[in-house]
Structure 1
Amino acid sequence: MKEINFITTENGDDIIISLCSQGTNPLDVSSFIMMRTPKFEPLLEPHERGICLSWEDEDDIVVIADRISINRNEIHIKTRNKTENHKFNIKQISDEDYKSLLKQLEIINFDKSAIIIKD
């Protein structure tokens, strides 16, 4: 399970949640990204709409979230294609980041395209 140290969020044309993991070198940060661009989604086929998931270095792969389970210790993301699941330890993020993450999940899931379970 990947350990997350902090998160970043963005609300603009894109709605973004980045789960960030820092290595031993402070400059060594990797991010798992959840993203939507609501103004362009009507142009997509229905099966292509939803919360897109990717690692920051995998631009060509589009995977859509189906179910997100979250509690104060971890977040578990299941995908529509059922071949990928992502589990992250979020114990180390601040309480402020956790509250921000919960709020941003509601924003990014504006059309209830994914099931979100908060424990």
Structure 2
Amino acid sequence: MMETVAFISTENGDDLIVSFAVIDPADPTEVESLTLLRTPKYEHLLGDWERGVSVSFERYVEDDEELLEALHLDRKSAVVRLTTSLRNYELDIRKIGEREVKAMRKVLTRMNYDRRIRLLGI
């Protein structure tokens, strides 16, 4: 199912964060956060299998660790496809401005410093 994104917020400090505000299909006035998070500063404390970009979606709060495996940005159709260890997401980003997309691309590039993620279109 294609999810519509209302806006994207990013953080580019000790924590590297890309958060998609996904419009809730049950209530179009509400959003649910789909967040990609990586903290390289402390990642060396984790086991190798735990390292990478963690994915959390408010819709699936009961899930265990979900790690990002691939992200494809299709600029022509304005779609972001995420492949994680648990599921796939398709995000419609047509409502998102170029500044937000550029910030997202910058943070995703930093998140992938060790090439654990297959990034396409970034």
Q: How many residues align?
A: 115
Q: TM-score, normalised by structure 2?
A: 0.84
Structure 1 unaligned residues grouped into runs of 5+: none
CA apart distance, 1:56: 3.7
Question: Aligned pair in 2 of structure 1 residues 65, 96: CA closer, same or farther (>3 Å)?
Answer: same
Question: Aligned pair in 2 of structure 1 residues 51, 59: CA closer, same or farther (>3 Å)?
Answer: farther
Superposed CA RMSD in Å reads 1.8
How far apart, in 2, do the equivalents of 1:29 and 1:63 lie? 20
Counterpart of 1:13 in structure 2 is: 14
- The one of 7, 24, 28 aligned to 2:28: 24
Structural mapping, 1:61-76, within 5 Å: 61-72=64-75, 73-76=78-81
How far apart, in 2, do the equivalents of 1:71 and 1:19 lie? 16
CA deviation map 1:23-58 (0-9, x unaligned): 533xx2211000011122111111111111011462
CA contact (8 A) 1:17 1:33 kept: yes
Aligned residue identity for 1:41: E
Structure 1 segments, 4+ long, off by >4 Å, are none
How far apart, in 1, do the equivalents of 2:42 and 2:65 lie? 15
SS at match of 2:104: helix
CA apart distance, 1:59: 7.3
Aligned residue identity for 2:18: I
